[in-house]
Chains A and B, each alone.
Chain A
């Protein structure tokens, strides 16, 4: 069974640009969550999508947005990039309909904003 796939693996952008990251969950998983990981703040929850609907949202500005498609693949978009957006962006998938179930993380997209 293929794991969670995130593309691209690395990305370099400049301030003010926008970026779209992609996540393909494990087959059959309907929940996709996005996290931002930085050395200073650790892993912070961005949002979760379940069956194409945003089910949970973290405390990030509106520049951070996401969506989920009917095949459960998800994208997140960051507009008007700032230097502080440089981070490892991780997505995790799960079935999404059971209590305390296991999250499977992808290897992440390392975003550098110059």
Chain B
């Protein structure tokens, strides 16, 4: 049973389009993190959201944590080819630990 359901699994869009990736769970997380992973490399942290309802912006990326801390979304505005990669959400069931529950990931391809 996957604790974190991430959707969509694959996304192929044209440069300039907007997109949203969703991460849903029936579990409550103390925090939720979004990572980006490129081929041959480990995941790199983009953002951590901690408070229910929290919204964080990182240039063209907007991250939101659900009010109940069970879900999250990542919205990219005006996607660019450099955004291509595997996006992963990961939840921590408790703080102060290196144990994260990862979603299956969303493979994003942005065509020029």
A and B form one complex = yes
How many residues on A have C-beta within 8 angstroms of the other chain's C-beta atoms? 29
CA distance A31 to B99 in the complex (A): 10
* B44 nearest CB neighbor, chain A only: A105
Q: In the bound complex, do residue A103 and residue B98 qualify as a contact, i.e. CB atoms below 8 Å apart?
A: yes
CA distance A48 to B98 in the complex (A): 6
Q: In the bound complex, do residue A90 and residue B31 qualify as a contact, i.e. CB atoms below 8 Å apart?
A: no
Given A100-B48, A100-B50; A58-B42 close (CB under 8 Å)? no
* B104 nearest CB neighbor, chain A only: A42
Q: In the bound complex, do residue A44 and residue B102 qualify as a contact, i.e. CB atoms below 8 Å apart?
A: yes
Within 8 Å of chain B (Cβ to Cβ): is A32?
Answer: yes
Q: How far is the CB of A4 from chain B (nearest CB, A)?
A: 7
Within 8 Å of chain B (Cβ to Cβ): is A98?
Answer: yes
Given A33-B99, A42-B102, A48-B98; A105-B30 close (CB under 8 Å)? no
Q: In the bound complex, do residue A100 and residue B41 qualify as a contact, i.e. CB atoms below 8 Å apart?
A: no
Q: Which of B20-28, B55-63, B77-85, B89-97 touches A? A: B89-97
Q: In the bound complex, do residue B92 and residue A58 qualify as a contact, i.e. CB atoms below 8 Å apart?
A: no
Residues of A whose CB lies within 8 Å of any CB of B are: 4, 31-33, 35, 42-45, 48, 50, 55-56, 58, 90, 92, 94, 96-100, 102-108
**17 pairs of residues in contact across A and B, judged by CB atoms under 8 Å:** A33-B98, A33-B99, A33-B100, A42-B102, A42-B104, A43-B105, A50-B98, A58-B99, A90-B42, A96-B98, A97-B96, A99-B31, A100-B50, A100-B95, A104-B45, A105-B42, A107-B42
Residues of B whose CB lies within 8 Å of any CB of A are: 30-31, 33, 35, 40-45, 48, 50, 88, 90, 92, 95-105
Q: Identify 10 new A-B residue pairs, CB closer than 8 A, beyond the known A33-B100, A107-B40.
A: A32-B98, A42-B102, A43-B43, A43-B100, A43-B102, A45-B100, A99-B95, A103-B98, A104-B45, A108-B42
